[in-house]
């Protein structure tokens, strides 16, 4: 058989080895391509409007001037962004902890839910501007007020959706845990919480959309050194390129914050 050529013989195909990191990068690029195209389209249209209608710079700066302001004031904007993101993340962490704790208590007592929910709704509808002096009096003009405002804005959607998720747990799963002799805490951690994760992240996504804006609002009210104050001061001095640079950075931060929550949810739901 030594004269028989083996060139035409085909063996089993070798298994394809996939690198999880490469797959994650490809998935990220697919997710970002449409937002990037949208942003590029908006910038191009913006620049064309400036050119075609000869809009003066004191009315609206061109994207090129905004880019120059981003480069020239990069250090200042980075410091302001860091302060705003710190307030946002702290506020979201406190809001998530309070919302989940209260929603969990609602599963224990319907009376507690009926007693506290109307009060929470009233607090949620209260204008931030109306209670801002009280918040400043309690927390001062530093990061404490910014965190408090973020909590007030983001707490309600997380709490409502978490409560819905905890109550949507299948009754047979809870009955099985009861028959097995599980405590309330064990049933909550093993059954209610896993079933409620999609609901919780729905609330987190809703809250994330306004969390950065809430932190900036608090900075407008207190004068804290964040993006809100940077934009307000740039507007007061008619430095429109810097003002729009701050606006662009805040929009990008809000978008990335929302995308991060979606990414975390996808990883947890695998």
Q: What are residue 117's phi and psi, to 5 degrees?
A: -60, -45
> Residues 6 or more apart from 259 whose CB is under 8 A from it?
31
Query: What's the rounded mean pLDDT across residues 225-245?
Result: 93
Which top CATH class is 63-268?
A: mainly alpha
Within 10 angstroms of residue 152's Cβ, the number of other Cβ atoms is 19
pLDDT over 70 at 9, yes or no: no
Position 6 confidence tier, pLDDT thresholds 50, 70, 90:
very low
Whether the per-residue pLDDT at 150 is higher than 60: the answer is yes
Question: Does 11 score more than 80 pLDDT?
Answer: no
Averaged confidence pLDDT in the chain? 84
Task: Classify each residue of 234-263 as buried b or exposed e, where b means 16 or more C-beta atoms within 10 Å of its C-beta.
Answer: beeeebbbbbbbbbbbbeebbeebbbebee
pLDDT digits (tens, 9 = 90+) for 58-90: 788 888 899 999 999 999 999 999 999 999 999
- The predicted-structure confidence for 42-66, as pLDDT tens digits, reads as follows 888 888 888 888 888 778 888 889 9
| Residue percentage of the chain with pLDDT more than 70 | 88
Confidence of residue 20 (pLDDT cuts 50, 70, 90): low
98 pLDDT tier (thresholds 50, 70, 90):
very high
Domain residue spans of the chain: 20-55, 63-268
pLDDT, tens digit (0-9, with 9 covering 90-100), for 154-172 = 999 999 999 999 988 888 8
pTM of this prediction exceeds 0.85: no
Report which of 163, 167, 146, 263 is spatially closest to residue 211, judged by C-alpha positions. Answer: 146
The yes-or-no verdict on residue 193 having pLDDT over 80 is yes
Q: Is the pLDDT of residue 33 over 90?
A: no
């Amino acid at each position: 058989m030594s004269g028989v050529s083996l060139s035409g013989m085909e063996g089993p195909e070798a298994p394809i080895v996939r690198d999880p990191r490469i797959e994650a990068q490809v998935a990220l690029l697919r997710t970002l391509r449409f937002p990037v195209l949208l942003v590029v389209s908006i910038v191009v249209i913006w620049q064309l409007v400036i050119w075609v209608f000869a809009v003066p710079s004191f009315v609206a700066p061109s994207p090129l001037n905004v880019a120059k302001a981003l480069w020239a004031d990069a250090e200042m904007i980075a410091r302001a962004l860091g302060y705003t993101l710190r307030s946002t993340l702290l506020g979201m962490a406190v809001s998530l902890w309070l919302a989940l704790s209260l929603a969990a208590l609602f599963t224990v007592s319907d009376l507690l839910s009926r007693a506290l929910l109307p009060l929470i709704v009233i607090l949620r509808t209260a204008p931030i501007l109306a209670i801002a002096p009280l918040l400043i009096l309690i927390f001062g003009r530093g990061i404490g007020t910014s965190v408090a405002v973020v909590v007030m804005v983001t707490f309600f959607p997380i709490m409502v959706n978490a409560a819905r998720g905890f109550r949507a747990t299948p009754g047979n799963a809870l009955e099985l845990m009861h028959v097995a002799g599980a405590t309330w805490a064990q049933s909550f951690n093993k059954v209610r919480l896993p079933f409620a994760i999609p609901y919780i992240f729905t609330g987190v996504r809703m809250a994330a959309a306004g969390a950065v804006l809430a932190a900036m609002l608090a900075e407008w009210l207190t004068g804290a050194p964040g993006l809100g104050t940077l934009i307000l001061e740039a507007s007061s001095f008619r430095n429109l390129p810097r003002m729009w640079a701050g606006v662009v950075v805040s929009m990008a931060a809000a978008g990335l914050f929302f995308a991060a929550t979606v990414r975390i949810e996808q990883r947890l739901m695998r």
